[in-house]
Structure 1
């Protein structure tokens, strides 16, 4: 790789080379200086041979910090056991525009620049050691935090011993990345620092952050979106021991991107402990004006979407002349698929600590978007971005919710009022009742059929206006996308991203509809999909910055063929029935088969077999864990609860009313990884969207009934028509 390209990549996409810079922490005429050398924004090496990896991406429990540390350790030549991990602050200056972590891009998007930065650092260390030994650089190599001589076995120099020389050297014009055969960690199952911290209970979650003179805040928010505060009485709240002050919280409007803004009107209780703040919140007397949404329910929104479907719409994406082909047959098959609102239900409730000093602001919060949050705090306060610091420790789950800034905004607003550090902690009830949610969806699918009931073309109109990386359309059947369905007069609940985002309703419709088309054509549903993928063309999507590669139907076809073998497709025991799905998400592909039974209108999932192609699996154990977690996530959405709304109020308030899959419900899950040396791709979300259709398709195999909405309830099964 040429040096000018390295500088371009590392400065814009994460490497940020800082050559010839070091900090002499202790230097006298008789002592060797203690050098703290940061050759790039990913690594720090001390003269005592301490090597620290600075993780640019958010650690949400998905293991990104471990995967990236493995890449750094392998490319640099240091033992994972000796590599310390820190979490980088939000910084566009350091990491370009790729630090925010979502769309299963935590590892994929940093992979190239991290490897190049580490390879350059390794080259500088080798050059420094060669200079010290007065030998050629080809006679040296890095391993276990040392530079070794090839010609004299056992002779080595610790990284820390050559830093003074290394920090003065120019970057090499060309660097050489390691070959896969040289990897010590990449491709192996590694128990990383993230898991070790969790096991020891030492993970530095932001909810545990403490600062001198800090106040703790609990906020009573308007229970209906876009409602307003009429009045409040804080008399009883101020009597609660520990309560210091009660303040009104003014709402912030959603910005152009709904990731910013959206603070609800409310009343904040500030106290000397979280418990006191929560108790004070309970004692508040508040009058709300519910507004237009106070008259609406979930059913209202479903009706609004159905009404909007009746309005005229033209195709905005017309793949392979689908609209023309659609008119060649009078035989049309239609289906509508419904999914409810969903909550993210993170185990660590939303929280943020902010200290607004007037001329600068510092934030501590486990966020998926440290750069976006930094920009938003600057917007909110009118301060320059350089005056805002966003510390981003690990968080206890994100699933898209922590990509939004509202909970951080609340802490900043309150700290600006009182000029001391303020920690805002959401109660568990807050995270269900007054949060942001994955939207309710209604998706209409139509297929034109030939004389043999084979699909000629497909029309789609629903929650998605066009195909994209997160909701790939891989099949060879021509398809037309129409304008997405709209609400009558705005959202009933504010939107949040949710694990797999819109790929969940997209997969629900696409893969259920494909099964129904196979049924109409009297074809085996798995073999039908394979036929529809055989002649499908590669879909160009490289221009999308968060994707980085095209859509390859052949890869999805390969996962289907592999899952058919692994799941013993169509050879199950009596009483067990199978359903299949196949989904692409960004540049990863998953096919899965669900084995289920139905008794007394209750669905029991016995086993889910999944095959994933995610390029090179950096840490196979983490890949499997992510697919297992995604399947459990998808099972909750399919078989348990959604969010329902009556008169603008969310009806679910905690885990007792928003039921999730428990360990006692968990089926056997078998995950197989396609061997590949392609660039690593995401694994955190690709396993979600295929779960619901695989189960629904299995339910049809078991009962002859087509269910087209979630969640699957006993009453729904009982009333369904075969």
Structure 2
């Protein structure tokens, strides 16, 4: 294959993985009216000079499409206001296996490859214009969608040189722009996503409409692991617009649980979503609830406690911690509990599928278009090449849209009907019969020296071992044991939840570090600085989606800065007390200080000061927005209603029973970004796990009470 038709760009993650990006110059559309040229899978240029950025990653409201468009615009030389936006379909052929968006990796994974693809395209355009002008390429440059001649007031739009560009080979060497040349990167930019949002034109998947489409609502078994016994759909069929009622057979929860797992249910098919919802209310169904129908939250906690009593193996041992737990030493320990959580996305889950027998097309807002495509191929027996996943923007994901079950439902129904079927979950569905962040119980223990200073720490709980998303950055020798397991199986199916297991990990680690500091008579922030100062760099780039090794010095620097910005330790006379936390998450580092007061059993969070090192901040306004949103998310988990389960059934059904943090309760938030030219890392999740411990540590400073569980209730504060 000639180089002009195939171009390999460098590793997305620095781990040696190569992504093959086809350059279909020889496949350029030959249309005399408008010719489209796609030099790679990120950009399309029309002969009318329409320039379209094709975003490979999912847009969930977090702004990834804007950040990536800024990178493309800067490296290619295009004005952001003239750059159109599309979203690439799920495709390992196009984007390798790094398209799925999770772990705060949406921008980081394609940062380098996108720059190289745009720099290559820029080089080809410059060569084409140089040929047209009969000058050396060095005399030309790209800016604002045009190729300019240096020192001459002459320019050509990109679209005017496509006839030549489409015949040229990709340059063997490319030159990436220097940071001093960036026009957008590092600045607060409003992209297409923001314009869509303000105009109310965001193409959410829930707005999908196709000819002859059937609308579906599903009544699912209220208990995970239950079975359908019988149903009567006659009353539902009397509802105007309802056309059919049918069983939805369950699919097995896969070992890799992102890949599906549909509950048994009954689907109502109608001519509108409203009719389908009304028909669902009229269903008469009998369920067999199974063994989970006898269980609740407390049963799960007891199972985890029982597992903790069993002997466990050591799975990670940093700095030979095992040698530092002899008999005769003093010990301190803490147990930290966090409940089930639900994602509660503003846009309910939905998917549209059209199964035509020999091929299948899907429209969905998903975080995992590639994984979804693979899973649906398994489910249907169709080859992946026959399946197209149109990845559309969604109104929030937070990890829940990485799972394939809601897409499976649409595919199952469309395969039966051989028509387009849109499945829409009600708000109640998203609370009552979804997937959830697990209930967690985590045990931390430290051995102390004669001065009550910790000489080693060990852990057993929800996490099997520390890693890129649950980092242990400190120099105190650390040992972890195999993670706790439910003995009777899951009460609720698992979903990722913003920051995933870093949330309970941060709750335990950062509260326990505070306890260790106070026990040793140390200032909590200064104590952290001491045990970070000599901590070693930890190698953790085992997979392409792990951003970088762990650099404790970076966390140390964020703590130093948050100490200054929060006026840490200065005497306060208005009843306000402070708590601190410091967290790492897949290459990003965030330290926080919470200012709170406690009066008559009620807590008020007045202010959060946060410092983040996320490498080069592509769009500082989006970075700040992500940290601000993370703080509100974390405070909701800390102060509001959790998901509770009684006799296998989730008790919270909507926002009336699952409360969110309200505007009048939101604290002031001050975010500071460390200035660096390091490779960009993620910002969507690093701010969540430090929220609860910062507030809980402040509560201890205010009251002397150690609260080790979520949520914080008035009863806990009054004890």
Class of the TM-score when normalised by the shorter of the 2 chains? over 0.9
Corresponding residue to 2:28 among 16, 23, 46: 23
- Contact 1:49/1:158 (<8 A) preserved: yes
What does 1:148-159 align with in structure 2 at a 5 Å threshold? Answer: 148-152=148-152, 154-159=153-158
State the Cα distance separating 1:574 from its structure 2 match.
Answer: 2.4
State the Cα distance separating 1:10 from its structure 2 match.
Answer: 7.9
State the Cα distance separating 1:326 from its structure 2 match.
Answer: 1.6
Question: What SS does structure 2 have at the residue aligned with 1:109?
Answer: helix
Pair 1:658 & 2:658 matched: yes
**Partners of 1:163 and 1:22 in 2: CA distance:** 13
Match of 2:85 in 1: 85
Spell out structure 1 runs of 4+ moving beyond 2 A: 3-6, 8-15, 19-27
State the Cα distance separating 1:26 from its structure 2 match.
Answer: 2.6
- Contact 1:329/1:449 (<8 A) preserved: no
**Partners of 1:533 and 1:544 in 2: CA distance:** 25
What does 1:289-368 align with in structure 2 at a 5 Å threshold? Answer: 289-327=288-326, 329-368=328-367
What does 1:123-138 align with in structure 2 at a 5 Å threshold? Answer: 123-138=123-138
Query: Which region of structure 1 is more displaced relative to structure 2, 56-65 or 541-550?
Result: 541-550
What does 1:177-216 align with in structure 2 at a 5 Å threshold? Answer: 177-216=176-215
CA shift digits 1:244-294 (9 cap, x unpaired): 000000000012210012100000000000010000000000000000000
State the Cα distance separating 1:548 from its structure 2 match.
Answer: 3.1
Pair 1:122 & 2:127 matched: no
Match of 1:163 in 2: 162
State the Cα distance separating 1:315 from its structure 2 match.
Answer: 1.2
State the Cα distance separating 1:329 from its structure 2 match.
Answer: 4.7
- Contact 1:333/1:446 (<8 A) preserved: yes
State the Cα distance separating 1:319 from its structure 2 match.
Answer: 1.0
Size of the aligned set, in residue pairs, is 711
CA shift digits 1:577-625 (9 cap, x unpaired): 0000000000000000000000111111000000000000000000000
**Partners of 2:550 and 2:180 in 1: CA distance:** 28
State the Cα distance separating 1:665 from its structure 2 match.
Answer: 1.0
State the Cα distance separating 1:24 from its structure 2 match.
Answer: 3.6
CA shift digits 1:232-254 (9 cap, x unpaired): 01110000000000000000001
After superposition, the Cα gap between the structure-2 partners of 1:13 and 1:74, relative to the gap in structure 1 and judged at 3 Å, is: farther
TM-score normalised per structure 2:
0.98
**Partners of 1:606 and 1:242 in 2: CA distance:** 51
Question: What SS does structure 1 have at the residue aligned with 2:45?
Answer: strand
Question: What SS does structure 2 have at the residue aligned with 1:568?
Answer: coil
- Contact 2:25/2:38 (<8 A) preserved: no
**Partners of 1:23 and 1:75 in 2: CA distance:** 23
Pair 1:254 & 2:259 matched: no
Match of 1:48 in 2: 48
Match of 2:453 in 1: 454
Question: What SS does structure 1 have at the residue aligned with 2:315?
Answer: strand
Question: What SS does structure 1 have at the residue aligned with 2:393?
Answer: coil
CA shift digits 1:297-326 (9 cap, x unpaired): 000000100010000112111111111112
Match of 1:412 in 2: 411
**Partners of 1:598 and 1:238 in 2: CA distance:** 56
- Contact 1:15/1:114 (<8 A) preserved: no
- Contact 2:351/2:363 (<8 A) preserved: yes
Match of 1:578 in 2: 578
What does 1:386-465 align with in structure 2 at a 5 Å threshold? Answer: 386-465=385-464
Question: What SS does structure 2 have at the residue aligned with 1:163?
Answer: helix
Question: What SS does structure 2 have at the residue aligned with 1:58?
Answer: coil
CA RMSD of aligned residues (A): 1.3
* Structure 1: stretches of 5+ with no match in the other structure: 28-32
- Contact 2:8/2:19 (<8 A) preserved: no
What does 1:367-386 align with in structure 2 at a 5 Å threshold? Answer: 367-386=366-385
State the Cα distance separating 1:13 from its structure 2 match.
Answer: 5.7
State the Cα distance separating 1:717 from its structure 2 match.
Answer: 1.5
- Contact 1:240/1:276 (<8 A) preserved: yes
**Partners of 1:582 and 1:446 in 2: CA distance:** 19
State the Cα distance separating 1:706 from its structure 2 match.
Answer: 0.2
**Partners of 1:288 and 1:81 in 2: CA distance:** 55
After superposition, the Cα gap between the structure-2 partners of 1:100 and 1:199, relative to the gap in structure 1 and judged at 3 Å, is: same
- Contact 2:24/2:39 (<8 A) preserved: yes
- Contact 1:10/1:16 (<8 A) preserved: no
Question: What SS does structure 2 have at the residue aligned with 1:371?
Answer: helix
State the Cα distance separating 1:544 from its structure 2 match.
Answer: 2.6
Match of 1:696 in 2: 696
Question: What SS does structure 1 have at the residue aligned with 2:593?
Answer: strand
**Partners of 1:496 and 1:295 in 2: CA distance:** 22
TM-score normalised per structure 1:
0.97
Match of 2:224 in 1: 225
State the Cα distance separating 1:228 from its structure 2 match.
Answer: 0.3
After superposition, the Cα gap between the structure-2 partners of 1:380 and 1:614, relative to the gap in structure 1 and judged at 3 Å, is: same
Match of 1:30 in 2: none
**Partners of 2:20 and 2:314 in 1: CA distance:** 43
**Partners of 1:710 and 1:210 in 2: CA distance:** 42
**Partners of 2:171 and 2:552 in 1: CA distance:** 40
**Partners of 1:649 and 1:443 in 2: CA distance:** 25
Match of 2:468 in 1: 469
Question: What SS does structure 1 have at the residue aligned with 2:631?
Answer: helix
Pair 1:9 & 2:14 matched: no
